[in-house]
Amino acid sequence: MKILVLGAGAVGLPVAARLSRVAGVYAVCRSSHAEIIRKNGFRLTGLWGDHTVRFSCGQEPPDQDWDYIFITAKSIDTREVCRLYADTIGGREVVSLQNGIGNEEIISAYTDSVIGGMIITGFEWQGAGAVHVTVEGGVMKLGRFPKGPDPAVTGLVSLVREAGIPVEESPDIRSELWAKTMYNSALNPVGALMGVAYGRLISVHTWDVIRCIIREAFAVAIAEGASFPWKTAEEYLSHLRGVQIPATADHRSSMLQDLERGRKTEIGFLNGAIVERGALHGIPTPCNRCITDLIRFREENTEGSDVR
């Protein structure tokens, strides 16, 4: 198998490292990471083990017949990644392993074969060419977008599992993506605005905000055709508080890490997407709009350095 990872950063590089055990992998990443990885290998620590892994990487992919192409870039960069690598993507099996709502639709303009991916694992930079896996909130889910069984997905799931990543095939990946978006829209921006890890967000002072975000997001997701194991927003909130937050309590959100580095966040694909989709269905989303505006303000007024 030949695997290409485009936009390989804090998510893509660890995934590339694991997949390199069982397939030929090439990761397209920033030059600062590529130089370190080529010289010293990629340093992976934390829940996925402590390893130094060597795999091929650079800023331009070689011209090969790729079996699967992963896009792991920030959601704000999806369209640009697809535009830059349109000839490489065209006609291939392309896997979106990203946050939020809308990435698969963007990718589908460049290929008819889109696989959605959902991963609730915490990754934190430890400097160039080094990532620490902090938490794991569940298994990776992969599925043909928007839904349905598929032999190509089944083969990919087997490959990912062989690489040592917990994974399951999903017959309804669109609903899985909405479920993760609810989780992310509640914890990612609130954790970023408060500057704390997820476990601190069960405070009474933040939980009412999270409850409001989830009630709106749940209504929009149902209107979009998502199907959940939770019948109501209140049932999901119980799952969030009792299961998901404890499993990821020590994680500092990727949005917080972006703000600390002076980078744009994925708010437009999370709470911003809930606002946009809500408007299409006539569902008011004032809490999500407020959170989106607050993060936009922080983006405009935060200075930092970008280690990616």
Cα-Cα end-to-end distance for the chain: 28
Structure confidence by residue, pLDDT tens digits, 161-205? 999 999 999 999 999 999 999 999 999 999 999 999 999 999 999
Domain 2-171 has CATH 3.10.20.30: no
In tens digits, the chain (308 residues) has pLDDT values of 999 999 999 999 999 999 999 999 999 999 999 999 999 999 999 999 999 999 999 999 999 999 999 999 999 999 999 999 999 999 999 999 999 999 999 999 999 999 999 999 999 999 999 999 999 989 999 999 999 989 999 999 999 999 999 999 999 999 999 999 999 999 999 999 999 999 999 999 999 999 999 999 999 999 999 999 999 999 999 999 999 999 999 999 999 999 999 999 999 999 999 999 999 999 999 999 999 999 999 999 975 544 33
Catalytic positions = 180
Please give the model's pTM, rounded to 2 decimal places. Answer: 0.95
Nearest CA among 104, 93, 145, 139 for reference residue 119: 139
- For the chain, give every domain's residue range: 2-171, 175-300
**Angle 232-208-287 from CA coordinates, rounded to 5°:** 80
Long-range contact list for 149-158, CB < 8 A, 24+ apart? 150/115, 152/93, 152/113, 152/115, 153/115, 156/68, 156/93, 156/95, 156/115
CATH code of the region 175-300: 1.10.1040.10
What the block records as the tokens of 37 is 């990885």
- According to DSSP, the β-strands at 130-136 and 121-125 are antiparallel
Nearest CA among 67, 125, 136 for reference residue 304: 125
